[in-house]
Amino acid sequence: MSTATATLADLAIKHPGATRVFLKHGLDFCCGGRRPLDEALAEKGLDRDAILAEIEREDAKGGELTGWAERPLPELLDFIEGHYHARHRADLPDVIAMAEKVEQVHADKPTCPHGLTALLRVVHAAVLDHLAKEERILFPMIRAGHGSRAGGPIHVMEAEHEDHGQNLARIRELTADLTAPPEACTTWRALYVRLRRLSDELMEHIHLENNVLFPRALYE
């Protein structure tokens, strides 16, 4: 595995195990995907050889995020809409309802994620607006073969991706990095499991767009 000048995005595109390893260690391969691997590892105090060995082990398990650099753009768009867009629309109302219940029942506990419900409502509205722009404006342009003219819409989407990333960071701050306290009830623990899946899938979604879809649409 050549990594002399590799970025997080390079590895996430080429190695199926990389995204799982990056998610596990909190390495931002979506909005921060263009950072050199060594720089990102140094910031986190992670050992380069250990991370690369972990990626190789995960590679053996396969993954669905690789291969999109060569697949037709309409197939990539279908995958993004059918998987990520559909999952975000289904998951966000559920986690909002669960967060509201947790905050109501456990409001007196110091470990309660106060403000999480309100933040998730902001995330929900922002994500729905973002998906609508992609489905109504940007994706039709790309499907019609006009991706090279889509620099403006793509710039807007990338800026909104940065906002999504900041919201995910805020969710982790409110939830002790999605770690349920010992006194957490079943709903509380389930909420954090669902939020982790939502966070991971939103990061994968942003990665595929920022690092695969957008560059290909602009220059193919």
Q: What is the DSSP letter of 209?
A: I
pLDDT of residue 171: 97
Res 157 pLDDT > 80: yes
- What DSSP element (H or E) covers 152? helix 151-174
Interval 86-105: pLDDT, tens: 999 999 999 999 999 999 99
pLDDT of residue 27: 84
Beta carbons within 8 Å of 171's beta carbon, 6+ residues apart:
116, 119, 120, 123, 178, 195, 199
Sign of the Cα torsion 64, 131, 134, 214 reads negative
Which residue type is seen at 141? M
Q: How far apart are the first and last CA of the chain?
A: 27
What 3-state class would DSSP assign to 34? coil
Does pTM surpass 0.75? yes
Name residue, tokens 């009830």.
185
Provide the token pair at 115: 């403000």
pLDDT of residue 220: 72
